[in-house]
Amino acid sequence: MDKERVVEEYRRHKLLSAYHDGKFKGRVWKDKELLKEIEGDGIGDVLGRLREFVDSRLQEKVDSRIDAPEVAEYVQALRSMLGDFTDGHLAMLKAHYNADDQCITATQLAESAGYSNYGAANLQYGIIGKVVYEELLMPLPKRKDGTPIYTYALATAGDPKGEEAYWIWKLRPEVSAAIEILGLNT
């Protein structure tokens, strides 16, 4: 019998799956608030069901959001991840903030962070966008496969039909204000 205990972070939630009192049990927390307790057929089954719960919960929040996130929400989201920013992340945010009309291409983002190509910048800027998205839960445009384009949590695209290296990303005004409030622009 599997008596393992697994704790994992999933989409900014804490999941716990364990064998306890003769049963496989699981719990999920967000910001120290217990959201759900379940029982299942094994550690993996419990974790899978907890992940499904989190995915469903987040999608419901995205679907119910009416207004765009406000500056204070962006400040809170960015502040929560400051310790996780790499030098490259900070360089890209600063470059985007300081760009003419706060518009920048993926190639320029790559250059600002010292990445060798726009693909690396898209990946890293998307990582920032994903964390912001999962904190703010806002509707975003999606790729053909249905996955959100997380960079849209930070910016809007001027020409999404062109080659990605030359897309012009316009920093959202709320993100711009949050960057300034947090002093990430200097």
3-state helix, strand, coil in the chain (%, to 5): 50, 25, 25
Residue 105's domain comprises 71-181
44-75: burial string, b at 16+ Cβ within 10 Å, e else: eebbebbbebbeebbeeebeeeeeebebebbb
The answer to whether residue 129 sits within a structural domain is yes
Residues 46 and 76 in one domain: no
Residues 10 and 46 in one domain: yes
Residue 87 has pLDDT above 50, yes or no: yes
Handedness of CA 58, 180, 182, 116 (dihedral sign): positive
Look at residue 182 in the predicted model and tell me its pLDDT.
96
The answer to whether residue 19 sits within a structural domain is yes
Return the residue matching tokens 């964390």. 131
Task: Share the mean pLDDT of the chain.
Answer: 91
Look at residue 63 in the predicted model and tell me its pLDDT.
87
Residues 41 and 118 in one domain: no
pTM of the entire structure?
0.78
The answer to whether residue 186 sits within a structural domain is no
The answer to whether residue 92 sits within a structural domain is yes
User: What number is the average pLDDT over the span 147-171?
Assistant: 79
In this structure, are residues 125 and 108 in contact, taking their beta carbons and an 8 Å threshold?
A: no
Look at residue 1 in the predicted model and tell me its pLDDT.
42
Residue 66 has pLDDT above 60, yes or no: yes
Give how far the C-alpha of residue 49 lies from the chain's centroid of Cα atoms, to the nearest Å.
21
User: Considering only 2-6, 107-111, 113-117, which range has the smallest mean pLDDT?
Assistant: 2-6
List pLDDT tens digits, range 27-63. Answer: 999 989 999 999 999 999 999 999 999 999 988 988 8
Domains identified in the chain, total number = 2
